[in-house]
Structure formats: C-alpha cells, structure tokens
Amino acid sequence: MVSPACCNRETPRTPFYLVPAGLALLSSLIILLVYAPATSLLLHTQRLHPAAVGDHVDHLRNPAGSSVSPTPANHSVADATLGNSSGVPTPASSGKAPPFTAVFEGKRDEWEVKGQTPAGDQRKGNIIYREVFHDKEFFLEGYKEMNRSFKIFVYPHYKDDPFAHALLPVDFEPGGNYASESYFKKVLMQSHFITKDASEADLFFLPFSIARLRHDHRVDVGGIAGFVQMYIFNISRKYPYWNRTGGADHFYVACHSAGRSATDKAEEVKFNAIQVVCSASYFLSGYVAHKDVCLPQVWPRKGPPPKISSAKRPVGSSSR
C-alpha cells in the first residue's frame, strides 16, 4: 500500500513556461543588437537626404572648375516642393528661370477649380498642384523642354583604343537577339543629346558593351566584372564627374544576361548608376526599380518575313 505521506508529498513545480518566454526575449534582444546600428544609419541618412539631394543638383549645374559657385540647397526633390514664385519644378540652386512658366500660370486656375489640394509646405510658400503630373499639355511642354536642353556626355575613346570594338559604336547594322544594345549606342551617338562639354551634361554614358566584351578572348564572360571595375577606377581618376555624385548621374546599357554579373566587382555601379537593361528578369538580383530602366529588346531578321497568314493581311484588315 502506498503511504499517505507519499501521496501528500508536494511535487516541485519546474517553471517550464519560462523557457519559451526567455528564448523569445533573448531573440528580441539579439535582433535589436543586430539592427540598431543599421537603424541609426538609416535615420542619419534620412536626415542628410535633403542636403545630399541639393548638393547633387548643385554638382550637376555647377561642375568642378565652373565659375559659378554652388548655393546652399533649400529643398529636396523628394519633398516635391516648388519655387514660391510660380510653382513650377526647378532646382533651387540652378539660378535659371522655371521653364514654360506661362503654361503653368494658364493652368493654375483650372487646377484650383478642380479642387486639387496643394502638396508641400504652404507656410513657406512652396506648393505643388498634383494635377501637374497628369496634364497632357503641361507634360508635352516638359517633354519639349527636355528634348531641347537634355544633354549627355560620353566618355571619349578612339579607334586606336585596345578595346575600341567594345567602347565605340559599331559601324555595321547590328544583328542577333542582343542588337538593342548596339543600336542604342549607335543612335545615341548620332543624336542631338550628345555634348562634348561635360559642364552642361545632365547624364554621363559609360560606353562599354557587355555583349561585345563577352566575345573578346582577353575578357570573356568571366572577366567582364573585372573590366567594369577597372573602367570605373580609371575614369574616376582621370575625370571628376564620377566622384562628385558617386555615379548617380551615370548610366550604361546591357542587353546580355551576362550583364547581371558585370557589376559584381563594382557594386557602386549596381547601386548608384542607372542600369539600362533589355530585361529586368535577367537582373533580378541587381535591378533597382526606382532608378534602373528596361530597354525594348529587338531581334533584327534578314530576308523576307516569315510565311504566316497574318503577314500577308493588309494593314487594317479584320482578323476574322
């Protein structure tokens, strides 16, 4: 028989419920320790962002060696504020009159009638009408202004350059499924957007061709990343333009899937420069949506068009 004393013995209560709670607390502390430095850096960056953007605009308008001295930035592009004189977007430090002001003034009453609530800091006189981004006439004027004044500086190379075939435009009609890359450079170099005066440039083009470098036995696919790394190193030492913005106003074109690893040894290109790529799906690990651009991919074909019924139909005919 079991002794009553044994039955009445008080069993020790092990606080097992404290184990998961303790682990959860420990995990939380570890997460805080890991993310605290990153959070502080993020907050610090956000506080510096307006000035950084303003400085970037100053650098674009007043490059090194210019006689125009930069003026302190008083607003950020990200704040979507406008000058208090006309309300037309314009860099605060540019010193230029806002473009197509008359068009804006003619539209102001129309937008106010629509009840558009202005955005921005009205206490400082900086307001913006959201309708400005959806008005086709105003957009057209902006496009005309861009088409007239937008300039691109291309880093110069010559025919005796050891890699001229990858740095200069091709002198033949491009073909194949990566022809867009060569067509882009060829057409760009013949356009009115090109300037030889870097002081008036809005963007800077890095003219190396990923598609042509992959066929160079001196480089091949495995050496493209090293080529890009050395190219950036060389232009940053020879010219002041990359260093003053960290490459944020530079761009390159890549239409081959090998381009996704082209910046592995030069991450400042991946995260700062504008990547113009033929397919974002090639660049899932490096495509940054807010700055990078997709270029339509074409594949020129030779000879007569394929013998399919749709090709024989006259323009405008019914598909039935």
Nearest to 103 by CA among 83, 126, 87, 122: 87
Same domain for 170 and 145?
Answer: no
Kindly report, residue by residue over 125-140, the tens digit of the pLDDT.
555 556 666 778 778 8
Same domain for 174 and 144?
Answer: no
Same domain for 228 and 105?
Answer: no
- Report the distance separating Cα 130 and Cα 117, nearest Å: 8
Q: Which of 128, 149, 170 is at the close of a domain?
A: 149
Same domain for 159 and 290?
Answer: yes
- Report the distance separating Cα 210 and Cα 185, nearest Å: 12
Number of domains in the chain: 2
Tokens of 145: 């202004």
Q: According to the model, what pLDDT value does residue 80 have?
A: 29
Q: According to the model, what pLDDT value does residue 167 have?
A: 92
Tokens of 302: 């030779």
Long-range Cβ contacts of 239-242 (<8 Å, 24+ apart) = 239/155, 239/198, 240/63, 240/64, 240/65, 241/63, 241/153, 241/198, 241/201, 241/204, 242/204
CB-CB contact of 9 with 3 (8 Å): no
Q: Which of 129, 149, 169 is at the close of a domain?
A: 149
| Residue 124 counted as domain residue | yes
Same domain for 175 and 279?
Answer: yes
Beta-bridged to residue 251, according to DSSP, are 205, 274
| Residue 87 counted as domain residue | yes
| Residue 89 counted as domain residue | yes
Residue 151 C-beta-side C-alpha neighbours within 13 Å? 11
Number of Cβ within 10 Å of residue 89's Cβ equals: 17
Same domain for 127 and 169?
Answer: no
Q: According to the model, what pLDDT value does residue 221 have?
A: 85
Q: According to the model, what pLDDT value does residue 237 have?
A: 95
The values of phi and psi at residue 310, to 5°, are: -65, -30
Kindly report, residue by residue over 133-170, the tens digit of the pLDDT.
677 877 888 888 899 999 999 999 999 999 999 999 88
Same domain for 130 and 226?
Answer: no
Same domain for 223 and 173?
Answer: yes
- Report the distance separating Cα 73 and Cα 54, nearest Å: 5
Same domain for 138 and 160?
Answer: no
Q: According to the model, what pLDDT value does residue 53 have?
A: 36
| Residue 31 counted as domain residue | no
| Residue 143 counted as domain residue | yes
- The owner of tokens 């009453």 is 109
Q: Which of 133, 149, 165 is at the close of a domain?
A: 149
Report the interhelical angle of 136-149 vs 101-113 (nearest 10°): 160
| Residue 189 counted as domain residue | yes
How far is residue 190 CA from its own chain's centroid? 24
pLDDT (tens place) for every residue of the chain, 320 residues total:
445 444 444 444 555 545 555 555 555 555 444 444 443 443 333 333 334 333 433 443 343 433 333 333 333 322 322 333 333 333 444 444 555 666 666 666 666 655 555 555 455 555 555 666 677 877 888 888 899 999 999 999 999 999 999 999 888 887 777 888 888 999 999 999 999 999 999 999 999 998 889 888 899 888 999 999 999 999 999 999 999 999 999 999 988 777 778 888 988 998 999 989 887 566 566 788 889 888 888 888 777 766 666 555 555 544 44
CB-CB contact of 185 with 171 (8 Å): no
State which residues form the domain around 134.
Answer: 77-149
| Residue 171 counted as domain residue | yes
Q: What is the pTM of this model?
A: 0.59
